[in-house]
Amino acid sequence: MSKILITGGAGYIGSHAVRLFIDKGFDVVVIDSLISSKEGAVDRLKGFGDFTFYKVDLRDKEALNEVFEKEKGIDAIMHFAGLISVSESTKDPALYFENNVFGSFNLLCAARDFNVKNFIFSSTCAVYGESQYLPVDEKHPLLPTNPYGETKLMIERLIKWFAPTYGINFVIFRYFNVCGNSEDGEIGYDKKPSEHLVPNAMKGALDIDEFKLTYAKVDTEDGSPIRDYLDVLDLVDAHYKAYEYLMDGKTSEIINLGTGKGFSVEEIIKSIEKMVGIEIPRDMGETRAGEYAAIYANYDKAKKLLDWQPQKTLEESIKNSKVWFENNPQGY
């Protein structure tokens, strides 16, 4: 049985990955500090099969090494853990550099010290910054406009320096916006406070929480930012394909994950209104800092190297979001 270590496995994306790898028969080891995720997610995941959970902060090198001492024979590390709020990173950059960069450095040192040769990292399209052309491919200039994106770029560079020296093979995924939830409403999004449009607008439509717009007007057709919305189930499927890719001994790569389509904030809200059958108020809240006008992916490289492409439509993602929040209005 193959053993995989998943960091951030109680988080939104990580929990979907844990479930997928349990379903595929892996020996799954999960590390999560539960700083920005929920213990309820761990409890929910136990209903899908056995896995080993460690409440460990990656900044605690001693505790992290104890996990690796106990869990011999890890085939691959899947690194989802990290803080992800753009606006929070602009208000407290020190927190993001300490948590994201230092924690990832410790994890890479553990991979080196315990001879784990395969590493899959969750990066972000925020490393690109403002789009100089669309769709954005992996050759686009790297000019992050916020500390969150800068921390992810620093981790990418750490990985690229570690890899040849210590024999680590890697896939770095640059995510575009992620949305959706499990189809059965059992695993889903539970971040409070949340900056993410689809869950926030859905909670507003279902009268769970008040919804407010948080963008500054930008130079797009309707004045609202345009983003690429990828379903979380398609995302974790790409991670499974990346695991197979690395286990086949193929070359380390940096790969975009997106749909190749951009939707504005207004278009997303209108899609949710149509799905729920209610008009969502457009009241303005606190404007988010560090944002830009438009970005969406060229995912040709993922298609070529991993035989991957998105399967879920935006409507399916919104439907699964509705199911999740109807079943779990207060999250886990």
Q: For the range 189-195, what are the long-range contacts, defined as Cβ-Cβ under 8 Å and sequence gap of 24 or more?
A: 189/12, 189/321, 189/324, 189/331, 190/12, 190/37, 190/38, 190/40, 190/41, 190/328, 190/331, 190/332, 191/12, 191/36, 192/331, 195/85, 195/86, 195/87, 195/288
CB 68 within 8 A of CB 3: no
Specify whether 215 is catalytic. no
Beta strands in 91-196 (DSSP E): 118-124, 169-175, 177-179
CB 23 within 8 A of CB 34: no
Q: What does DSSP assign to residue 229?
A: E
What is d(CA 244, CA 128) in angstroms, rounded to the nearest whole number? 27
What are 286's two structure tokens?
A: 């606190």
Q: Is 279 helix (H, G, I), strand (E, B) or coil?
A: coil
Q: Which of 54, 96, 128, 148 is catalytic?
A: 148
Residue positions annotated with a catalytic role: 148
